[in-house]
Amino acid sequence: MVASTGDGDMAEPLVASSLPLETRFPPFHLRQHGGFWFPETLLPGIVAVRTRFAPRPSDVFLASFPKSGTTWLKALAFATAHRADHPPHAPDHPLRHRNPHDCVEFLEVSYALDPTADAFAALPSPRVIATHLPYPLLPERFTAEGAGCKVVYVCRDPKDAFVSAWLFARKMAAAAAAGAANDDEPWPVPPKPFGMEEAFELFCDGQCPGGPQGPHVSSYWEASRRWPEKVLFLQYEEMLQDPVDNVRKLAEFMGCAFSMEEEAAGVARDVVDLCSIDALKNVEANKRGSRKYVKNEAFFRKGVAGDWSNHMTPAMAARLDGIVEDALQGSGFAFAAAESA
Ligand code: PAP
């Protein structure tokens, strides 16, 4: 697989097969690029984003390390940005019929599907677009000073992000096994049980999709300190504690703060209710729909803080906390003391 690095026509092509390879985190082969691990199939998209994506000053990117609250943030930001056209209490609201990942697409996934097209060009402004890319790999034209674009980042306690990622990977591995049994499309990583210990070692070493988590988080934290008007840094656990206040923060940052009339009418609360995990779990498209590699219901599991304690030993928790703490050292950000469910 060869893709241009996108730094101009003369740039060296990026040869995926020459990048470090990790084959143990199912269901995709991972390749290391720019210090982070990505599904190999995404590399052409990651490269194409840098050359082809044409940012608009009104764009809002929703960024996250995988399994940190992306689906929820997509729903909240979409409902907030489009509330004039789609009031949150409306029975035909898109989020009552569609999965949040269909309302807000991933930049690099879209370009990976067709690196020559710009699927986002047809979207009306303001566009809300998601990414799992770390800050240094965002397109330069997007992050450049004066570009006007904004980023909302959500981070999550590493232990809960790990447990969520491991269980999600197991579901995808099971789908891979079923696909292999049906002699469907071949899966890159041969299906086999994905044990907790193996997953944990890989996650601790950063050899997981988007990994390592610590540098991913610190890249956005530092950007949010440097350019607070451009990068909003949210925490999943704080969103769980006070979702309405976080939606207000989100709306204000996106340039569409709730008016006094909206506040009086409880619109922020309506957005939160529309996007609650229980409401989304009940949407037909989320109950029965599926995507290429996984059922939509897999995006809505527990949605709580502290579920790690049902899966990890205290020693594992301390080890992972220590790894992420070390990575965040000197950044000025630290995850709050661990909660258990
Ligand atoms: P992604 O990276 O594949 O897009 P992402 O949405 O970031 O996944 O993470 C999924 C987690 O968010 C799941 O956590 P869990 O496995 O610990 O339960 C999922 O349950 C949780 N989640 C999804 N929707 C919501 C929501 N509306 N409110 C709170 N948490 C949610």
Tokens 């790894």 locate to 323
How much is the pLDDT for 59? 96
Closest CA to 32 of 220, 219, 211, 216: 211
The response to whether residue 209 sits with its C-beta less than 6 Å from ligand 1 reads: no
The response to whether residue 275 sits with its C-beta less than 6 Å from ligand 1 reads: yes
DSSP 8-state code for residue 290: B
Helix (H, G, I), strand (E, B) or coil at 295: strand
The response to whether residue 70 sits with its C-beta less than 6 Å from ligand 1 reads: yes
How much is the pLDDT for 11? 44
Helix (H, G, I), strand (E, B) or coil at 14: strand
* 3-class SS shares of the chain: helix, strand, coil, % to 5: 45, 10, 40
Predicted TM-score (pTM) of this structure: 0.94
Which ligand 1 atom is at minimum distance from the Cα of 275?
27
Residues 87, 205: Cα–Cα separation, whole Å: 44
Tokens 């989100």 locate to 250
Closest CA to 152 of 123, 131, 173, 177: 131
Instruction: Give CA angle at 32 (26, 37), nearest 5°.
Output: 50
Residues 29, 40: Cα–Cα separation, whole Å: 6
User: Beta 21-22 vs 60-64: how paired, if at all?
Assistant: unpaired
Distance 258 CA to ligand 1 centre (A): 25
The response to whether residue 211 sits with its C-beta less than 6 Å from ligand 1 reads: no
Instruction: Single out the catalytic residue among 29, 93, 132, 216.
Output: 132
How much is the pLDDT for 305? 97
How much is the pLDDT for 3? 47
The response to whether residue 277 sits with its C-beta less than 6 Å from ligand 1 reads: yes
In the predicted model, residues of the chain with pLDDT beneath 50 are 1-11
The response to whether residue 106 sits with its C-beta less than 6 Å from ligand 1 reads: no
Burial category of 180 from C-beta neighbours within 10 Å (exposed 0-12, middle 13-18, buried 19 and up): middle
DSSP 8-state code for residue 61: E
- Closest Cα to atom 12, ligand 1: which residue? 69
287-325: pLDDT as tens digits: 999 887 789 999 999 999 999 999 999 999 999 999 999
Among 25, 42, 64, 67, say which to mutate for ligand 1: greatest number of ligand atoms within 8 Å of CB. 67
- Closest Cα to atom 14, ligand 1: which residue? 303
Taking a C-beta distance cutoff of 8 angstroms, is the pair 315, 278 a contact? Answer: no
Distance 276 CA to ligand 1 centre (A): 11
* Sign of the dihedral through C-alpha 248, 275, 84, 70: positive
How much is the pLDDT for 8? 38
Residues 34, 16: Cα–Cα separation, whole Å: 12
Closest CA to 338 of 210, 314, 173: 314
How much is the pLDDT for 341? 64
Residues 264, 267: Cα–Cα separation, whole Å: 8
How much is the pLDDT for 97? 97
